[in-house]
Structure 1
Amino acid sequence: MIFDYKAYSRLLNEFIIEGEKIEQYRDPAFNKILEPICKFLRISRISSAVFDSTCDSAIIKSAPHIYYDDGNADSTRVLKFTENNVRACKANYSFMQSKSGQDWSEEEVQQIEAFEKLIYTFCDRSYASTIAKDLSMFDNDLMIYPLTFFLATVKNLIRQGRIGEFGGVYFNIKHFSSINDRFGRDCATNIMKLFIHGIQEKILYEECICRVGGDNFVVLFKKDNLNIIKNYLSGMPITFNDGETVTVTTTAGYYMIPEATESATDVMDRISTAYQLAKSVYKRPFLFYDDEIMQHQTHVKEIEMMFPSAIENEEFKVFYQPKTQLNNYQLAGAEALCRWFRNGKVISPGEFIPVLEGSKAICTLDFYMLDHVCRDIRRWLDEGREAVKVSVNLSRLHLGDEDLLESILRIIDKYKVPHHFIEIELTETTTDVDYKELKKIVYGLREQDISTSVDDFGVGYSSLNLIREMPWNVLKIDKSFLPTQEEEDNDPSKVKMLRHIITMSQDLGLECIVEGVETAEQVKLLKDCKCYLAQGFYFDRPLPVKEFEQKLESAAG
């Protein structure tokens, strides 16, 4: 399950705003403002009891109090915290999970720990005059502020009319999971700590760095200090373990905050939006929130609004790009690709796919495509055509869906399509995936005689563990690994890399296909490398159904 930090920060800011209006934590209104965050963090019950901390025995100084209870709490699934205050009292807080549902994730536990500090702030009014001070409880691992402090600091600067002096940045440490795998958790945490402490040495009075969760952080900085922060986040060698060095880089979203800003949530929205676009759309190491992004956001909203009716009206059409067997140039299969036709115009996949991935609507589109592919295959079989195996893309955002395998099988079996005609092409599997969930679905599909392939191997930070530890059927090599004639002449290392990947995949028992083949020279190179399966414009562009059916007839005849 992916933790939605953007939505959580908005709820947290609303809680802070409404909490300041409440004078007494026993006020029923306090329970009401707790409810949205409790539902988001899957908290079923919050309670506390106050004791005299000067005595060895537990002397209760006030009756136990229940802040929130939805009636479904499980007393065996509980997080407990203890707070000491200046009045020689000790407060024990209990957060219980519901009787149903998965255990809290690590991200949820981190946010519950920070949320407990915030509740304690409101409950102990001796600290209420300086809420920001109570929000500044250090992160246990890194000894830095949590997100709540960032929001409170921004809010305070807005009150003072000084927010226009500052900028904000949301950043993520790239490939930190790989650092974790390579060096171990303790060492990786130390590397993160050294990197973050390096930023702390750069920031000035009134600036701050705060942890959002995991390997995500935010920084509030003076605008004059922008270049120093930006240069540091672009990449920094970190030395650890008596001289060993690793370069830590980030993906970052910046926002130069205008004086007219009215809420901390607006700042958080803009820096997190810039970060998401830098990572997923523009593929850049950093991006500033500006007019271009505002236009992009307008475009995103338009796509999101059009999508439900487009699905209902079947505006998305399946195009089939043939796969070719190089030893005889026969049709060997196809990949199903999506094209959107609306009001007589074609909307490019580059315009709508990233948007749908951002809202998880991509999962709906994936199942729509699988359904239409199965419908076509069933029709071909009923008409006596020679059908071929078709690969259908599935986004990594499906991972974590406990019913994913059943949903795939339900669609395929609805049309009584033999399983060997379907190949599931899992996209974006080289970054930020839960390997346990990925392994589960790959094994499950294999047991059902459904082929699986790794899409775009070689893009980004591909892990060899990805193909070593899972029973894939097909390795799809990205076109970036396929050299042009000029590169083949001037960069022999690229040819060697391609040759080694093909040999390695075949030694592991994987079928190997290269996409993006455009020239006869590239075909010859693949044959020389003993790779005999390819797709690309040299053979065929993606074809509408009728044209692909003609291809099927030609192949059969």
Structure 2
Amino acid sequence: MAQTGTPKLGSKHMAKWMFAAFLLMTAMLASMSWLSVKTGFMVQEDSREMVERHIPELETIGFLQRALSNRVNQLYLYYATTERQAYLSGSRLEDDKIDHNIDHLIKLGISDQDALALRTTLTKMQLHADRFDREMTRPDSDWDRLREHLSDAQSAAIDAQGQLDLWQASIRMITMQDSESALTEVDRLAQLLSGFTIAIVVVSLFVLVALYSRLKDRDQLFRFAFYDSLTGLPNRRSLEDALQQTQQEGESGALVLLKLERYPLITGTYGHAFGGEVIQHIGKWIQEKLRVSPCDAILYRYSDDTWAVQLTCSNEPEHLKQLACSLATMSNDPFCIGDRLLNLSVKIGITRYPQDGSDSDRLMRNADAAIHALVAPGRIYRFYDAELTARTQRWLATESALRNALSDDEFELFYQAKVTANGAQVAGAEALIRWRRNGELVSPGEFIPVAEQSGLIMPLGNWVLNEACRQLAQWQARGITGCPVAVNVSAQQFQDSSFPQLVADTVAHHCIHPGLLELEITEEVAASDPQRVVDTMKELKASGVTIAMDDFGTGYSSLSYLKRLPIDTLKIDRAFVSNLDKVQDNAAIVDMILALAHQGGLKVVAEGVETEAEYRVLQSKRCDLVQGFLFSRPEPAAQFTLKLCQSAEPAGLQEAQ
């Protein structure tokens, strides 16, 4: 069979073809290498430009948002404290930051039109802030108008935040588009490099590494925004997004906040580094508890000492109670952290959605409110209810009214008699503040806690001191010198370094004998800072006033510490006087207090005496003075003065002058 085929070429022709093929392959390789290198540099330059342009814009917008938030917070702080100097210094600093960041945004490419719109909104906010400041400096500030200015300033700040959010969203969209474009180029480059030389692969890898390093920096910035750097847990911003998403999808669930108790004490004692170890340890402990929970739960780091758990499978109260009780076992055993054993515990606030709120901000506020409402001893968790919001609203309304009450002269002092245990003669009185609002008396239990937490207790306490001394001066002018008056001193007053001088100046101003004024300090205040308490009491005693320890037996002061205090009187708390004739433990405590006081030369007052049986027991135990509804309820000054004038032989201080 004949063979057919291609004729063989000579070796010379073969060499030419091979050389031509080699040249062609070399040219193709060089072309592809050049194209690969060029494409790689283009991708690298695009990614570098993307990072260098857009990430600083996001950072600057973030700085500007925080400065705006701080500016509004300063207004609220000014509203709460009325400290104008601190407000002015802080506002100037934040205004400088705002101007600097806007200028930086313009340099980075933000349009002049957008910058002008933002500056216009900020000018509106500053206008309302200036009106707020002018109203605050007026002696007869209108608090309704203050709140209106505050609301207008906040609204302007919210508008500015909205503009910044739009810019931020636009920048993110551009960044995503740039990123997609860069990834498309990388993909095309990978296809071109398939089947070519190691040199092209090396160039591609170099480009990919450069791009990866740039994108990694950007991802790290976003991770800092949505995750806690200490624990690695998603942070509050992640929680807000998650709650908003579940609300939009119409899902039901619950938000549980866990606040670690006494965390500032831990960091103040052992340092913030050890405090960070505690936070990490507790975070892992909570995660272990959630793993065995039947509900789908996500743990977040909510704030420095607070965690949040989002439950998406159930919001049934029984399931939530089981989870809360499981988390409350934290206090059962001490935690070994490093070489220290710590007894830790949490307070838990629970809010459910959609029942309790329709947005993330309200849900987080509700859970916070539930935690702050845990005031009763032994209560570890609490569900949010609408009454908490109503209580907060009443609180704010009371605070606003209190600010006007002093200038409107709505307060007055009532006096409750202290009588001798052996003859029931008036031997003194306790001055008790009363607030007559719109013709009706407001319970002290309603406004005193508000005054203490709002800082108004200082001017209120100073008014009580001055009014009591004024009344003593009137009695002294009428020849009534046997009725010393006790004035309650708040913790904030007592801790004020200028308080002893204020007492001395007030006594001198009204020209009363200092022995007629008695200052009542609670045992809790007396045990707070032993050496400072002793020094302050000595300063007060130097002015001639007497000092009584109120609520004795309910605090934590030791007997040895009590001997160091320069006090004149002990007041037995109502808790030990109640049912004194029936409860043996109360009788034993009263016996101990009387023996301790009389041994140290102190006078004893039993307060809250309401029955004849309690009075007879106190008589038999030789208590010095008694006070309570059995003898007299608190009375207005005019009525109490009439009682003093009708008393045949007023007991008490014998001719103090």
TM-score bracket relative to the smaller structure: 0.5 to 0.7
Which one of 295, 299, 308 corresponds to residue 394 of structure 2? 299
Q: Deviations over 1:226-254 (max 9, x none)?
A: 3244324388332479xx99986665544
SS in 2 for 1:334: strand
Q: Deviations over 1:332-391 (max 9, x none)?
A: 211111222222222222222222223222222222211211111111112222252211
Partner Cα separation in structure 2 for residue 420 and residue 519 of structure 1: 31
Counterpart position of 2:596? 504
SS in 2 for 1:238: coil
Counterpart position of 2:239? 154
Q: CA deviation at 1:38?
A: 11
* Residues 299 and 463 of structure 1: CA distance in aligned 2, closer, same or farther (over 3 Å): same
Q: CA deviation at 1:479?
A: 0.9
Counterpart position of 1:278? 374
Which one of 288, 291, 294 corresponds to residue 201 of structure 1? 288
CA-atom RMSD, angstroms?
Answer: 4.5
Counterpart position of 2:156? none
Which one of 202, 223, 229 corresponds to residue 136 of structure 1? 229
Q: CA deviation at 1:472?
A: 3.2
Counterpart position of 2:481? 386
Partner Cα separation in structure 1 for residue 263 and residue 617 of structure 2: 32
TM-score by length of 2: 0.56
Give the letter aligned to residue 23 of structure 1: L
- How many residue pairs end up in the alignment? 443
Q: CA deviation at 1:516?
A: 0.6
Counterpart position of 1:220? 309
Counterpart position of 2:492? 397
CA contact 1:337–1:542 (8 Å) conserved in 2: yes
Quick check: which one's helix share is greater? 2
* Residues 297 and 326 of structure 1: CA distance in aligned 2, closer, same or farther (over 3 Å): same
* Residues 508 and 167 of structure 1: CA distance in aligned 2, closer, same or farther (over 3 Å): farther
SS in 1 for 2:524: coil
* Residues 30 and 227 of structure 1: CA distance in aligned 2, closer, same or farther (over 3 Å): closer
Q: Write out aligned runs for 1:456-495 (5 A).
A: 456-459=551-554, 462-464=556-558, 467=562, 470-484=565-579, 487-488=582-583, 492-495=584-587
CA contact 1:392–1:425 (8 Å) conserved in 2: yes
Q: Deviations over 1:494-517 (max 9, x none)?
A: 322232233234445543222111
Partner Cα separation in structure 2 for residue 192 and residue 327 of structure 1: 60
CA contact 2:226–2:235 (8 Å) conserved in 1: no
Q: Deviations over 1:282-314 (max 9, x none)?
A: 996554331212222222222122223322222
Counterpart position of 1:324? 419
Partner Cα separation in structure 1 for residue 625 and residue 334 of structure 2: 45
CA contact 2:486–2:519 (8 Å) conserved in 1: yes
Q: Deviations over 1:69-91 (max 9, x none)?
A: 99xxxxxxxxxxxxxxxxxxxxx
* Residues 549 and 168 of structure 1: CA distance in aligned 2, closer, same or farther (over 3 Å): same
* Residues 287 and 416 of structure 1: CA distance in aligned 2, closer, same or farther (over 3 Å): farther
* Residues 38 and 442 of structure 1: CA distance in aligned 2, closer, same or farther (over 3 Å): farther
Partner Cα separation in structure 2 for residue 543 and residue 173 of structure 1: 42
Q: Deviations over 1:499-539 (max 9, x none)?
A: 22332344455432221111222123223434222211112
Specify every segment of 5 or more residues in structure 1 that has no aligned partner in the other structure, as ranges.
1-19, 46-65, 71-123, 139-143
* Residues 211 and 338 of structure 1: CA distance in aligned 2, closer, same or farther (over 3 Å): same
Counterpart position of 1:513? 605
Q: CA deviation at 1:154?
A: 2.6
CA contact 1:171–1:251 (8 Å) conserved in 2: yes
Give the letter aligned to residue 413 of structure 2: V
1:539 aligned to 2:631? Answer: yes
Instruction: Provide the identity percentage.
Output: 24
* Residues 403 and 275 of structure 1: CA distance in aligned 2, closer, same or farther (over 3 Å): farther
Q: Deviations over 1:407-464 (max 9, x none)?
A: 33343333233322222223472699555654453333223222233322334x5343
TM-score by length of 1: 0.65
* Residues 345 and 448 of structure 1: CA distance in aligned 2, closer, same or farther (over 3 Å): same
Counterpart position of 1:416? 511
Counterpart position of 1:256? 352
* Residues 295 and 133 of structure 1: CA distance in aligned 2, closer, same or farther (over 3 Å): closer
Partner Cα separation in structure 1 for residue 405 and residue 421 of structure 2: 38
CA contact 1:452–1:473 (8 Å) conserved in 2: yes
Q: Deviations over 1:16-41 (max 9, x none)?
A: xxxx995244998478448659978x
